[in-house]
């Protein structure tokens, strides 16, 4: 028996900034030893449609749904069952079941083992879900499946799951529920000590949802001598002890979702807490004084946004010498209250933009109030282009606290900005992955190896 794990690609071109998809290392570790497993990441390689596979399992994000459905259908045409899991099938199970044999709703632990038992017995059900909330203790991972894939030079680690905030545009709370779970600190430390890369990226949506436990983790990281980065919320800047621990433990970079500079927008998206204690610039200064390079993320299209918002936001990000920046049109996705609101208001341009072959990456998917959809699309593209001009890259480099703190940091800063400059230009206007790029092969006539393009 052989199972193929597949990560579908958003586009038709290789992703140079792809990171390890941790979910597959978890699934591989929870698969019995007598089952052969292979892993293909379409972001880095072509998927070989191998008729010797017994079952395929794909993780699906909204942007990759159309491509995932095509891959699943192709395998099913060979008589091979397909299973889909992840955020999109969790919120759109009926849609997903039109293209596969079974869906896994929510986290896979427990559900995956049940699914495999049923599959062996020839009794595969249509839906699987965790029977109960599973502890994150003893979270095993098989990272050997990532070998040779050419991912970004950082090891991905998960400390906890869930978020305490309820931002309108986000589906994290809907996926994980109200429960916040963290792994035992000792287990996280042991995992990091065994990793090949000495830079760690914590994949948690917000690693500091429990401040006391987070401080315990940071204290345990100090003796390891690693550098690390993460995603955080801006409200931690007023916690002096936490900020000091960030610096001492080796935190060099953080992705912060600023989302908007307009307080009206922040209130509408239920994120007014971000500036409740102090303004953005004060918080930024505190974090940068601790040596943290900031990757700022912004969305446009909320009701108070106008065409002036793009220039104001880029100027803010450049003036504050952000390490990297993301400037995107607000995306209504299943599972988020934003999607339901815009649909109820009749403002969606595409009811299911992720399945529309005419949708292009960066396109506005709804009608904003302060500008036209075309102005929203063009304004976001302009913002990304302006932020990654050579002049902007040079100007932002000159910050001795962060980007220019050392020669190593400066080199990393330049390399990352050049990659993001290329990706920003390449991705805009691309169609989401569509037509199948590989076809079934006769394995008797070819030596088919995992990951081999066919």
Closest CA to 238 of 200, 191, 283: 283
Residue 177 confidence (pLDDT): 78
**Rounded distance, CA 438 to CA 35, Å?**
25
Cβ neighbours around 320 below 10 Å, total: 17
d(CA 238, CA 241): 9
The tens digit of pLDDT for each residue in 282-338 reads 999 999 999 999 999 999 999 999 999 999 999 999 999 999 999 999 999 999 999
* pLDDT, tens digit, 9 for 90 and up, residues 345-358: 999 998 899 999 99
Task: Report angle CA 301, 304, 306 to the nearest 5 degrees.
Answer: 65
**Could you give all domains of the chain from N- to C-terminal order, each with its CATH number?**
2-129 (3.40.50.280), 153-405 (3.20.20.70)
Give the Cα separation of 166 and 337 in Å (integer): 9
pLDDT at 436: 47
Cβ atoms of 92 and 86 closer than 8 Å: no
Picking from 139, 127, 145, 125, the residue whose alpha carbon sits closest to that of residue 5 is 145
pLDDT, residue 277, reads 58
| Parallel, antiparallel or unpaired: strands 102-105 and 127-129 | parallel
Nearest to 86 by CA among 100, 74, 52: 100
- Indicate the pairing of strand 2-7 with strand 36-41: parallel
Q: What pLDDT, on the 0 to 100 scale, is given for residue 114? A: 97
The pLDDT value recorded for residue 274 is 55
Q: Give the C-alpha separation, 391 to 175, whole Å.
A: 41
Q: What single-letter DSSP state applies at residue 38?
A: E
Residue whose entry in the numeric block shows the structure tokens 């500079």: 261
**What sign results for the dihedral spanned by CA atoms 355, 45, 227, 396?**
negative
3-state secondary structure 375-433: HHHHHHHHHHHHHCCHHHHHHHHCCCCCCCCCHHHHHHHHHHHHHHHHHHHHHCCCECC
State the Cα torsion 180-258-323-219 to the nearest 10°. -30
* Cα distances (Å, whole numbers) of residue 169 to 60, 202, 258, 340: 19, 22, 13, 10
| pLDDT computed for residue 94 by the predictor | 98
Are the C-beta atoms of 412 and 44 separated by less than 8 Å?
no
Residues of the chain with pLDDT under 70: 273-278, 434-454
Q: At what angle do helices 185-193 and 211-221 cross, to 10 degrees?
A: 30
Q: What is the pLDDT of residue 241?
A: 97
- Tell me, what's the pLDDT at 115? 98
The distance from CA 423 to its chain's CA centroid, rounded to whole angstroms, is 16
């Amino acid at each position: 028996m052989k199972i193929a794990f597949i990560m579908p690609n958003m586009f038709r071109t290789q992703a140079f900034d792809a990171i390890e998809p941790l979910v597959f290392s978890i699934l591989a570790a929870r698969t019995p030893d007598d089952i052969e497993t292979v892993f293909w990441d379409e972001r880095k390689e072509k998927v070989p449609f191998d008729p010797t596979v017994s079952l395929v399992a794909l993780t699906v994000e909204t942007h990759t749904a159309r491509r995932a459905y095509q891959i699943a259908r192709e395998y099913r045409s060979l008589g091979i069952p397909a299973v889909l899991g992840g955020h999109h099938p969790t919120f759109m199970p009926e849609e997903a079941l039109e293209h596969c044999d079974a869906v896994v709703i929510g986290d896979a632990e427990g559900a995956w083992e049940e699914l495999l038992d049923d599959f062996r017995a020839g009794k595969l059900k249509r839906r699987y879900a965790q029977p109960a909330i599973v502890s994150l203790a003893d979270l095993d991972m098989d990272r050997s499946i990532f070998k040779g894939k050419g991912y970004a030079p950082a090891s991905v680690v998960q400390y906890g799951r869930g978020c305490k905030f309820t931002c309108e545009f986000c589906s994290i709370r809907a996926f994980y529920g109200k429960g916040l779970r963290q792994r035992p600190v000792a287990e996280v430390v042991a995992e990091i000590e065994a990793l090949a890369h000495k830079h760690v990226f914590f994949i948690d949506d917000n690693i500091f949802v429990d401040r006391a436990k987070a401080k315990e983790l940071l204290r345990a990281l100090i003796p390891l001598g690693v550098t690390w980065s993460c995603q955080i919320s801006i409200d931690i800047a007023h916690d002096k002890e936490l900020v000091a621990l960030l610096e001492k433990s080796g935190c060099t970079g953080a992705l912060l979702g600023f989302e908007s500079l307009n307080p009206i927008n922040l209130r509408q998206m239920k994120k007014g807490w971000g500036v409740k204690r102090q303004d953005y610039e004060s918080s930024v200064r505190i974090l940068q004084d601790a040596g943290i390079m900031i990757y700022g993320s912004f969305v446009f299209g909320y009701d108070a946004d106008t065409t002036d918002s793009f220039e104001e936001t880029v100027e803010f990000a450049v003036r504050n010498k952000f390490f990297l920046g993301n400037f995107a049109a607000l995306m209504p996705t299943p599972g988020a209250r934003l999607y339901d609101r815009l649909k109820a208001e009749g403002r969606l341009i595409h009811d299911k933009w992720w399945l529309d072959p005419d949708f292009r990456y960066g396109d506005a998917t709804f009608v904003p109030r302060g500008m036209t959809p075309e102005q929203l699309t063009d304004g976001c593209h302009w913002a990304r282009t302006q932020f990654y001009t050579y002049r902007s890259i040079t100007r932002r480099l000159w910050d001795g606290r962060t980007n220019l703190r050392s020669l190593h940091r400066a080199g990393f800063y330049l390399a990352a900005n050049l990659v993001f400059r290329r990706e920003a230009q390449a991705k805009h206007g691309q169609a989401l992955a569509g037509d199948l790029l590989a076809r079934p092969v006769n394995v008797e006539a070819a030596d088919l190896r995992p990951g081999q393009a066919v």
